[in-house]
Amino acid sequence: PTRSPSIGIDRDLLVVSNRLPDFRHIEGDEGVERKKNVGGLVSALEPALRARGGMWLGWSGRTVPDTDTVESGVIDDRTAQLAWFDYKESWYRDYYSGFCNGTLWPLFHSFPSRVTLSDKGWDAYKEVHEVIAEVASGHIGSRAMIWVHDYHLLMLANVMRRRGHTGPMGHFLHIPFPSLDMFSMLPWAAQILDAMLDFDLLGFHTPAHVANFLSCASSLLPAKVADDVVSHRGRITHVAAMPIGILPDTFQEPPEPAIVEEIDGLMRALGESQLVLGVDRLDYTKGIPERLIAFGRLLEMFPEWRGKVSLVQVSVPSRADVPLYAEQRASIETIVGRINGEFGEAAWVPIRYLYRSYSKAQLSQLYRAARVGYVTPLRDGMNLVAKEYVAAQDPENPGVLLLSQFAGAAVEMRDAILTNPYHADGMARDLDRALRVDLPERKARHGKLLASVQRSNAVTWAEGFLDALSACR
Ligand code: ADQ
């Protein structure tokens, strides 16, 4: 078919996510522009988007007063067309910060005490789905394939079907799907499940998330579940575990001299100490306070490590305007101060806490310098840092991955040392063990982990999802 550039009704693939990746609004004549760095999700989808002349739709990252008209537009990128729209301030507050990050995020990560429930949030969740469905319908024909991402958009297929969309629609959830007990806390649990079953394919990171979803669907709805297929209202939905991956080779690229110098500078500051490294978005699900406390326990229980090991914790600012996140930051700084005050010496700082973002090239060098990758979320859909750490190692002298048993990544990464982040003494013992692993065992563990990170990567994930979605029809 000939392609109509303005409407694109014959476009074959629309990807929808809350944020457009690596996209920012620049005030001025040009309006919007694309940042230079492309993130993992974009690189994963790039081949499919390019081959199908696809479009990616999402929020621009800008909010406008409720009284203003919401702007939207399309820019052409070298990979795909990017369709953007603004949020009203009330959507940002009630939908994004409210229902998405105040209700669904803590609930799906099994933190019931952090969940807020409000009718206003639920109304905003439904309203924003209607708005996004309307924008989407303007960009794509009713038979095209749509791939929707994450908890912000669980109900999009339902709204699109009501608008007459008949093409295949799939959803991938990047965070865990909780147990029936937890999910039932949502007053709107059945409505959300019912709407999710308008997708043809639902992808999750792990078999446990799939099992949770199926048990919710069969308990809370009059839906029939047989193996990985759910029948409901005369429709069929396929459900599958499809763990996301990274592009491992991009963590082995030779660094610029300035980056080598920067990381060498940090290593000189650590002196003789071995580097234990934590890297996360600052979020309570990542278990940063627990990780710091366990590091303090290591120094108490195994005093021989004092002066010989240093923890560098790098936290990228995240959702800083949400009070819980500001609290988390303050609590981390207090723990760092306490441990450094108690154990530090003139020539040795036990914990260095860096509250900033690093480039992929900088992160790769940090990962490579670290003897232990200390990746201990309390709960995580997957956790890409674990995979990035493995991909960045020197195969001749690799470090050891210490990984939370509650990260989705633990399913595939059995050759890491697995740990329980809720148990400080146990985690301190596991850290001691990780620090003592000899070179032959480090190489053996790393070889197996790297093979798995290479085999199940970002591109096989994206292609696998799209193939499975096509096969549903
Ligand atoms: P996140 O919760 O954001 O993702 P994660 O998978 O670890 O968690 O990805 C974080 C990304 O941010 C990594 O690529 C990492 O390199 C980067 N990053 C972290 N700290 C950084 C820093 N200080 N500077 C620069 N970059 C930093 C959600 C889910 C995860 C799931 C992914 C993908 O919560 O469980 O793995 O989506 O599906």
Pocket test for ligand 1, best of 45, 173, 262, 280 (most atoms within 8 A of CB): 280
Residue with more model confidence, 195 or 27: 195
Pocket test for ligand 1, best of 151, 385, 403, 412 (most atoms within 8 A of CB): 385
Question: pLDDT tens for residues 143-184?
Answer: 999 999 999 999 999 999 999 999 999 999 999 999 999 999
- The alpha carbon of 205 is separated from its chain's Cα centroid by a whole number of angstroms, namely 11
Ligand 1 atom at minimum distance from 40 CA: 14
Gap from CA of 300 to ligand 1 centroid (Å): 31
Ligand 1 atom at minimum distance from 279 CA: 20
Question: pLDDT tens for residues 365-384?
Answer: 999 999 999 999 999 999 99
Q: Is residue 244 within 6 Å of ligand 1 at its C-beta?
A: yes
Pocket test for ligand 1, best of 291, 314, 383 (most atoms within 8 A of CB): 383
- Residue 30: predicted pLDDT: 57
Residue 357 banded pLDDT, cuts 50, 70, 90? confident
**Does position 8 have pLDDT exceeding 50, yes or no?**
no
Gap from CA of 114 to ligand 1 centroid (Å): 21
- Residue 228: predicted pLDDT: 93
**Does position 36 have pLDDT exceeding 50, yes or no?**
no
Distance CA 406, CA 383 (A): 10
ipTM of the complex: 0.99
Is there a catalytic annotation at residue 380?
yes
Relative to beta strand 309-316, strand 274-281 is: parallel
Q: Is residue 363 within 6 Å of ligand 1 at its C-beta?
A: yes
Gap from CA of 8 to ligand 1 centroid (Å): 33
Is residue 384 within 8 A of residue 290, CB to CB? The reply is no
Q: Is residue 174 within 6 Å of ligand 1 at its C-beta?
A: yes
* CA-proximal residue: ligand 1, atom 8 (nearest): 383
State what percent of residues in the chain have pLDDT above 90.
77
Q: Is residue 19 within 6 Å of ligand 1 at its C-beta?
A: no
Question: pLDDT tens for residues 13-25?
Answer: 999 999 887 676 6
Question: pLDDT tens for residues 252-299?
Answer: 999 899 999 999 999 899 888 999 999 998 999 999 999 999 999 999
Q: Is residue 319 within 6 Å of ligand 1 at its C-beta?
A: no
What's the angle, vertex CA 421, arms to CA 430 and CA 412, rounded to 5? 80
Query: What distances in angstroms separate CA 210 from CA 207, 330, 401, one per listed residue?
Result: 5, 36, 26
- Residue 6: predicted pLDDT: 39
Q: Is residue 384 within 6 Å of ligand 1 at its C-beta?
A: yes
Gap from CA of 446 to ligand 1 centroid (Å): 21
**Does position 236 have pLDDT exceeding 80, yes or no?**
yes
- Residue 381: predicted pLDDT: 97
Task: Give, as one character, the DSSP assignment of residue 415.
Answer: T
Report for 51-65, 235-249, 252-266: range of highest mean pLDDT: 235-249
Relative to beta strand 229-232, strand 235-241 is: antiparallel
Residue with more model confidence, 316 or 365: 365
Q: Is residue 385 within 6 Å of ligand 1 at its C-beta?
A: yes
Look-up of token digits 């985690």: 427
Question: pLDDT tens for residues 388-417?
Answer: 999 999 999 999 999 999 999 999 999 999
Gap from CA of 280 to ligand 1 centroid (Å): 6
Q: Is residue 458 within 6 Å of ligand 1 at its C-beta?
A: no
Is residue 428 within 8 A of residue 301, CB to CB? The reply is yes
- Residue 5: predicted pLDDT: 40
Gap from CA of 302 to ligand 1 centroid (Å): 31
- Residue 471: predicted pLDDT: 95
The tokens for 305 are: 């490590």
Gap from CA of 187 to ligand 1 centroid (Å): 30
Q: Is residue 88 within 6 Å of ligand 1 at its C-beta?
A: no
Q: Is residue 358 within 6 Å of ligand 1 at its C-beta?
A: yes
The tokens for 352 are: 């260095």
Catalytic: which of 149, 171, 174, 209? 174
Distance CA 318, CA 34 (A): 20
Coil vs helix vs strand at 366: helix
Q: Is residue 376 within 6 Å of ligand 1 at its C-beta?
A: no
Gap from CA of 281 to ligand 1 centroid (Å): 6
Query: What distances in angstroms separate CA 329 from CA 106, 318, 365, 372, 385, one per listed residue?
Result: 17, 10, 25, 23, 20
Burial of 10 (0-12, 13-18, 19+ CB in 10 A): middle
- What string of H, E and C letters represents the secondary structure of 211-246? HHHHHHHHHHCCCEEECCEEEECCEEEEEEECCCCC
- Residue 10: predicted pLDDT: 58
Catalytic: which of 194, 283, 380, 430? 380
Gap from CA of 293 to ligand 1 centroid (Å): 22
- Residue 39: predicted pLDDT: 60
Gap from CA of 362 to ligand 1 centroid (Å): 15
Ligand 1 atom at minimum distance from 283 CA: 2
Residue 12 banded pLDDT, cuts 50, 70, 90? confident
Is residue 84 within 8 A of residue 20, CB to CB? The reply is yes
- Residue 48: predicted pLDDT: 80
**Does position 450 have pLDDT exceeding 80, yes or no?**
yes
What is the identity of the amino acid at 185? M
Residues in the chain: 473
- Rounded average pLDDT over 125-141: 95
Is residue 278 within 8 A of residue 268, CB to CB? The reply is no
Ligand 1 atom at minimum distance from 318 CA: 3
Question: Which among 209, 379, 372 is positioned nearest to 290, based on CA atoms?
Answer: 379
What is the identity of the amino acid at 374? Y
Is there a catalytic annotation at residue 423?
no
Q: What is the mean pLDDT of the chain?
A: 92
Distance CA 221, CA 235 (A): 14
Task: Give, as one character, the DSSP assignment of residue 349.
Answer: -
Distance CA 297, CA 30 (A): 54
Question: pLDDT tens for residues 424-448?
Answer: 999 999 999 999 999 999 999 999 9
Is residue 398 within 8 A of residue 413, CB to CB? The reply is no
Coil vs helix vs strand at 376: coil
Q: Is residue 383 within 6 Å of ligand 1 at its C-beta?
A: yes
